[in-house]
Amino acid sequence: MRQLLLTWTRPAVSRPMTAVGVLFLLTIVIFAAASPWIAPYPPDLIDPVNRLQPPGPGHLLGTDHFGRDTFSRIVYGARLALLIGVGVVLFALATGVPIGVLSALFPALGVVLMRMVDVLMSFPSLLLALGLIVILGQGVFNAILAIGLIYLTTTARIVYGVALRLKAEPYVEAARSAGAGTWWIVTRHILPNMISPLLVQASFVFAFAQLGAASLDFLGLGAPPEIPSWGNMLAESRIYITRASWLLLWPGLMIVLTAFSLNLVGDALRDRMDPRFREMMRR
Amino acid sequence: MGRYVLRRTGAAIATLIAASIVIFAFIHLIPGDPVYVMLGDGATPEQVARLRNRLGLDEPLVFQYLIWAGSALQGDLGQSIFFETPVTQVIAEGAETSILLAVITMFWIVAFGVPVGILAAIRQGTWIDQGLSGLAMLLASVPTFWVGLYLILIFAAGLGWFPSSGFPSVFDDGGLYNLRYLILPSLALAAPNAALILRLTRASMLDVAREDYVRTARAKGIPPYRVVLRHILRNALLAVVSAFGFTFAALISEAVVTETVFALPGIGRTVVQSILRRDYPVIQGVILVIVCLYLIINLLVDLSYRFLDPRVELE
Amino acid sequence: MLNVDNLVVSLRNGPQILRGVSFGIEPGEILALVGESGSGKSMTSLALMGLLPPALAITGGTVSLGGTEITHLAPHQRVRRNCGKVAMVFQEPMTSLNPVLRIGEQIGEAVRVHDPDAVPADRAKELLDMVRIPDAAHQLSAYPHELSGGMRQRVMIAIALACRPQILIADEPTTALDVTVQRQVLGLIRDLCDRLGVGVLFITHDLGVVAQMAERVAVMYAGMLVERADVGPLFRAPLHPYTAGLMACLPDPESDDPLLATIPGAAPRAGAVPDGCPFAPRCVRAASRCRSGALPLVHGGEGHSARCHFPLTAAASA
């Protein structure tokens, strides 16, 4: 127990920034889990009399053009941020890991699959996502799929690289020549050794999913406008930037700090992992 | 050398063909009849039949693709439904803005990212390095449109130094002075990408500094600045140059958003508006042109490697 | 010529890696520095070069060359002050040359610094001839990856000679090479030492090579020199039990015993070196007084000395 505690607290002491990042992410989780209790108003309560109020005692962070409370919308926005992040990470891992592992194990299949990944990667990422939105239509779930498709490609590439190296490890070759089956090798040797690269990749994907979702929201092609997401809040406040510039600050800051914290965590995880794989995870 | 160029070009063309199939398939993946989707519910059967005929939707799929790809090769990307002009003309109208925006942005990225990355690497571990690296990670976590909105708020609306939106051509009144319209957009677009190049430059400088041949160079007694310039930097920049391909892709992605923020008449904004207008031929055409450009740039990056790194030929 | 006096190298705010090393090298002489990996041989050479990694520093003692102290000077500072020069051939020829520069440029770079009046290309060709690279004029424009390991190590020697050194350090220069190539490179170093009158510090863990190459030997263990002697006396009558142990590990051509002897235990890591004699935990002769306090310097004839309470040969105590 003491040992476990030490392995978790030691990095926090040596990297104060990362510790602050983790605390911020915890705050987001608490915001999302307890939004109705933390937010002073319902996120969609319209109050035309008090529209575009600057930050003050009644409305901690002011109100928007419908008189909705900014702080409450920020708190509820954490829900969508987490949903998008978790959704995109799960999608990217659930598709990228099998593609990468299968490609590494079966070279003939790998040529085809990795070639397809290359083709997808030749599309600029946001255009790929926009194209998918056109096909699927607008919506939170579709935004997750569209952004997830971008990170399917990078995840598959990384998993492919790591799996190829693991496959060439002497102990895997030994297991193979001792007659171990493919399933055994995948579950006993390849997947367990892939956990730390995948954790690093997951935190970066989570971070960039926030930026991608915010861009889609801003273009009016992400979450439907009635949903309080930070990206939507920015998109709506755009017209009022000279009259109510405070509307711009908080949602943007939440996006930046969420992505920044996740990048810090990803960096810290990467520095603690096997140096052989570190090089592949560089951005 | 000749074989290397040929092989890389062949691979790029193969990718382009595969990508063109994806782009072509796109219009058929849209649920419902694309003709009705494009024309809206109030379309007369006559209009529908005419558009269907113009898009060649009555032919078998393989034929449709070959016709589409064949005319694309001849520079015909079809007609815009909204503008009723050739797609190539729509693209040409946005090209000046987008190309100039990309060039100016690349300039900021190289002018800030590389030297500051070198500085951080040389001062590794000091507060200068920690500050710059932290700043780089922060910038990489910032949405470009948010930076853009703040630049507008401060430098356009507040100080009035630069215009906040639009871009008159440099061939119109004002000439090159019109480039001031692109200063704020290019800075917004450069911020996260310069941050990535900074981090990459720093990391590869530190990697190379640990190499045995750098120790050999030090042992020769040549001055430290020459060790940095000739031995560390030159090898470190190899990794940075290879990153320019994906930096370009990131630029195009984010230009879609930036052009919207600053209301620039570029290709990126055309894509977004075409999506909202369901003008599919324009979407297809623009994406095809962009993928093509991306592949060409990656190919050039690959080939320039040959001149920078003598080992490539062996691989 | 080269004089190393009581050299101490430590990790910054940490344990000592070298704990008072002293030796000298004369022109035209080869001194072999022998020891297991991790004993501090490579740290000694980097300290002499002024190329210690940033985490390490010289915290005591001096290095002087031709009477001038060069202890804390990096190579480029030595050039600027025009003092005597130490050059080095590294262990790994495959990674020690810059992959993107031509051989000629890499040699010429050193020529320009150390021989400002020479034409770099001419001098580089002369140096390649000197290290017996065939078709030298042509090879100047080759890239490192176009050369074999043995050829690259010759280029490394040419670069070292371009620095016009009084002392040449060769840090296990042949461990990465094939046996036949090994012999050629060793012969070349021996020959250059005789011809140019350069003093050589030859670092190796291979006692067999020592017998062919060196006049004198220093044996290193856990960051200190445990024995120094001429080659002959050392092989005939080692004083220190560790030296004797190393020799017992050499394969004996006259013995049929297929099992090689080993020294039990492992060398201590820096920072965990025991008090007293560092070899005591592995030594069959050790007694309680070996485990604390200073070690006596014992002599066994001209220039032969060791630090041991119980030397193998009855020797005159200092």
Percent of chain B with pLDDT over 70: 97
Q: Does B223 touch chain C (CB under 8 A)?
A: yes
Could you tell me if A92 and A148 are in contact, meaning their C-beta atoms sit under 8 angstroms apart? Answer: yes
With CA atoms as reference, the chain C residue closest to B231 would be C98
Token pair of A154, please? 């990078």
pLDDT along chain C (318 residues), means of 10: 90 86 91 88 91 88 89 89 88 88 92 89 91 89 90 92 92 85 89 91 88 90 90 88 84 61 76 83 84 83 86 63
Q: State the pairing for strand pair C16-25/C216-221.
A: unpaired
**Contact B287/A123, CB-based, under 8 Å?**
yes
Distance CA C134, CA B21 (A): 56
CB-nearest partner of A134 from B196, B249, B275: B275
Q: What does the pLDDT look like over B30-39, one tens digit per residue?
A: 776 677 777 7
C229 Cα to chain B: minimum distance (Å): 29
pLDDT level of residue A91 (50, 70, 90 thresholds): very high
Q: Is the pLDDT assigned to residue A242 strictly greater than 80?
A: no
**Contact C76/B224, CB-based, under 8 Å?**
yes
**Contact C98/B231, CB-based, under 8 Å?**
yes
Q: Which chains touch C (3 or more CB pairs under 8 A)?
A: B
Distance CA C202, CA C210 (A): 8
CATH code, residues A28-35+61-281? 1.10.3720.10
Over range B241-246, report the average pLDDT: 80
**Contact C99/B217, CB-based, under 8 Å?**
no
Could you tell me if C159 and C93 are in contact, meaning their C-beta atoms sit under 8 angstroms apart? Answer: no
Q: Is the pLDDT assigned to residue B53 strictly greater than 80?
A: no
CB-nearest partner of B220 from C99, C100, C109: C109
Regarding predicted confidence, which is higher, A13 or A179? A179
pLDDT at C180: 86
Tell which of B210, B213, B304 to mutate to test the C interface (max C CBs under 10 Å): B213
Within its chain, how far is the Cα of C48 from the centroid?
Answer: 10
pLDDT at C44: 92
Q: Does B263 touch chain A (CB under 8 A)?
A: no
pLDDT at B314: 45
Could you tell me if A162 and A185 are in contact, meaning their C-beta atoms sit under 8 angstroms apart? Answer: no
pLDDT at A1: 47
Distance CA A64, CA A54 (A): 9
B303 Cα to chain C: minimum distance (Å): 16
**Contact A17/B138, CB-based, under 8 Å?**
no
pLDDT at B315: 42
**Extents of the domains making up chain A:** 28-35+61-281
**Contact B256/A218, CB-based, under 8 Å?**
no
Distance CA A134, CA A138 (A): 8
Q: Is the pLDDT assigned to residue A184 strictly greater than 70?
A: yes
List of chain A residues whose C-beta atoms are within 8 Å of the C-beta of residue B16: 122
Regarding predicted confidence, which is higher, B293 or A67? B293
Distance CA C92, CA B215 (A): 12
Q: Is the pLDDT assigned to residue B308 strictly greater than 60?
A: yes
Tell which of B132, B146, B257, B296 to mutate to test the A interface (max A CBs under 10 Å): B146
Could you tell me if C155 and C131 are in contact, meaning their C-beta atoms sit under 8 angstroms apart? Answer: yes
pLDDT at A283: 45
CB-nearest partner of C95 from B212, B221, B223: B212
The CATH superfamily assigned to B87-314 is MetI-like (1.10.3720.10)
**Contact B218/C75, CB-based, under 8 Å?**
yes
**Contact A241/B146, CB-based, under 8 Å?**
no
Q: What does the pLDDT look like over B244-289, one tens digit per residue?
A: 877 887 888 888 899 988 888 988 888 888 888 888 888 889 889 9
pLDDT level of residue B47 (50, 70, 90 thresholds): confident
Helix, strand or coil, per DSSP, at residue C25: strand
Provide the strand spans (E) within chain C: 2-11, 16-25, 30-34, 56-65, 68-69, 86-89, 167-171, 199-204, 216-221, 224-230, 297-299, 305-307, 316-317
Distance CA B222, CA B143 (A): 44
CB-nearest partner of C100 from B218, B219, B309: B309
